[in-house]
């Protein structure tokens, strides 16, 4: 006699669907704890692969994540002035390979709209067209917006990108649907992405890291605990403990780690060499 088994894939799909349909308040803490336990057991038994378990865990975690934690910060935003000629817009698209670009007036605190590259294609060859004739209305959200709510808002507004505002109404950064999905399934590379190594291992005790690398990655790599603070990135952590943005070649020590700034400007740390000193 054959016993019918539902496939793991089908079971996971059902669980994902149920979780997506529940708000944070819709999942009682005891049920959530039981699901976490089931995931752990499933991984031990081999029923759920480790990466699948991490994905399910991420669904719970990301609901309470603030948009600010996953945004592209203002300093890294690629945007275009509303008065820029179409030839300059086309060059920016070719250089940066983004499919959506914020359009501003005077500065990034005055975002007027979002240019979708596919909308520009309809006017290809017409260099007299202006950006305000093509761009779509921007969708603004506060830094504190929870990612779970943001996903629903983007869907309801039929938008794939949101401009994040700080408490004073200035532009803090932006977030896209892709940023949210990557919080759950990991980083996605599309056909236009150029893969970038954010952490380069020099030897067993030394790495060169992008200043935007998440502090959790640093903790995991060096098996060290970083105290919590008002920062998310390695660069933010270093700036936090110093109280300023350090200069190139400046060295900072924290416990058994030594940070040497390799690249920075007056606003942020771009690249840092991190060395673990054994025996300290």
Q: How far apart are CA 111 and CA 122, in angstroms?
A: 23
Look at residue 25 in the predicted model and tell me its pLDDT.
Answer: 47
Residue 191 is assigned to a structural domain of this protein: no
Residue 194 is assigned to a structural domain of this protein: no
Look at residue 109 in the predicted model and tell me its pLDDT.
Answer: 95
Please tell me which residue, 55 or 164, carries the higher pLDDT value. 164
Cross-strand partners of 165: 142, 171
Q: How far apart are CA 31 and CA 197, in angstroms?
A: 38
The yes-or-no verdict on residue 170 having pLDDT over 90 is yes
Burial of 169 (0-12, 13-18, 19+ CB in 10 A): exposed
Contacts of 223 (CB under 8 A, 6+ apart): none
The yes-or-no verdict on residue 196 having pLDDT over 70 is no
What domain count does the chain have? 3
DSSP result, 223-256: T--PPP-S--BHHHHHHHHHTSPPPTT-EEEETT
CB 112 within 8 A of CB 105: yes
Examine the domain organization and report whether 80 and 140 are in the same domain. Answer: yes
Look at residue 226 in the predicted model and tell me its pLDDT.
Answer: 85
Examine the domain organization and report whether 263 and 166 are in the same domain. Answer: no
- Label residue 105 by pLDDT band (50, 70, 90): very high
Examine the domain organization and report whether 130 and 82 are in the same domain. Answer: yes
Strands 206-210 and 269-276: antiparallel
The values of phi and psi at residue 81, to 5°, are -70, 140
Cross-strand partners of 159: none
Residue after which a domain boundary falls, among 25, 42, 64:
64
Output the six-digit token pair for 86.
């179409």
The domain spanning residue 144 has which CATH number? 3.10.580.10
Look at residue 61 in the predicted model and tell me its pLDDT.
Answer: 60
Segments forming the whole domain that contains residue 246: 199-276
- Residue in 65, 64, 19 with CA at minimum distance from that of residue 39: 19
Q: Find the DSSP H helices in the chain.
A: 8-20, 29-45, 50-63, 67-70, 86-96, 117-121, 131-134, 147-156, 177-185, 215-222, 234-242
Residue 43 is assigned to a structural domain of this protein: yes
Residue 4 is assigned to a structural domain of this protein: no
pTM for the whole structure: 0.57
Please tell me which residue, 10 or 106, carries the higher pLDDT value. 106
Look at residue 22 in the predicted model and tell me its pLDDT.
Answer: 46
Residue 103 is assigned to a structural domain of this protein: yes
Residue after which a domain boundary falls, among 64, 81, 106:
64
- Label residue 65 by pLDDT band (50, 70, 90): confident
Q: What is the DSSP letter of 25?
A: G
- Label residue 147 by pLDDT band (50, 70, 90): confident
The DSSP element (H or E) to which 113 belongs, if any, is strand 107-116
How far from each other are the two terminal CA atoms of the chain, in whole angstroms?
Answer: 64
Contacts of 180 (CB under 8 A, 6+ apart): 62, 70, 147, 150, 151, 154
Contacts of 112 (CB under 8 A, 6+ apart): 82, 103, 104, 105, 132, 135, 138
The lowest-confidence range among 34-48, 95-109, 192-206, 227-241 is: 34-48
The lowest-confidence range among 22-31, 146-155, 234-243, 256-265 is: 22-31
The domain spanning residue 246 has which CATH number? 3.30.465.10
Look at residue 24 in the predicted model and tell me its pLDDT.
Answer: 45
Look at residue 224 in the predicted model and tell me its pLDDT.
Answer: 85
Q: What is the mean pLDDT of the chain?
A: 77
Q: How far apart are CA 105 and CA 92, in angstroms?
A: 17
The yes-or-no verdict on residue 4 having pLDDT over 70 is no
139 Rama sector, left if φ>0, alpha if ψ -120 to 50, beta otherwise: beta
């Amino acid at each position: 006699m054959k016993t019918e088994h539902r496939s793991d894939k089908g079971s996971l799909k059902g669980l994902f669907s149920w979780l997506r349909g529940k708000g944070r308040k819709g999942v009682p803490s005891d049920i959530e704890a039981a699901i976490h336990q089931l995931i752990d057991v499933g991984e031990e038994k081999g029923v759920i692969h480790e990466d699948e378990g991490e994905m399910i865990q991420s669904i719970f975690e990301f609901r309470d994540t603030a948009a600010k934690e996953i945004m592209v910060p203002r300093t890294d935003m690629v945007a275009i002035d509303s008065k820029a000629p179409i030839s300059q817009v086309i060059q920016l698209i070719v250089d940066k390979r983004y499919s959506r670009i914020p359009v501003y007036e005077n500065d990034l605190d005055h975002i007027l709209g979002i240019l979708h590259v596919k909308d520009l294609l309809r006017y290809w060859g017409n260099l007299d067209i202006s950006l305000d004739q093509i761009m779509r209305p921007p969708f603004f959200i506060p830094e504190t917006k929870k990612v779970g709510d943001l996903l629903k808002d983007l869907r309801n507004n039929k938008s794939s990108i949101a401009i994040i505002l700080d408490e004073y109404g200035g532009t803090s950064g932006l977030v896209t649907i892709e940023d949210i999905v990557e919080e759950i399934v990991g980083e996605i590379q599309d056909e236009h992405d150029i893969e970038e190594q954010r952490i380069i291992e020099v030897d067993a005790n030394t790495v060169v890291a992008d200043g935007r690398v998440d502090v959790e990655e640093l903790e995991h790599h060096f098996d060290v605990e970083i105290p919590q603070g008002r920062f998310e990135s390695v660069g933010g952590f270093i700036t936090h403990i110093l109280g300023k943005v350090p200069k190139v070649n400046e060295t900072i020590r924290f416990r058994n780690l030594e940070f040497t700034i390799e690249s920075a400007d007056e606003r942020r740390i771009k690249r840092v060499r991190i060395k673990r000193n054994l025996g300290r």
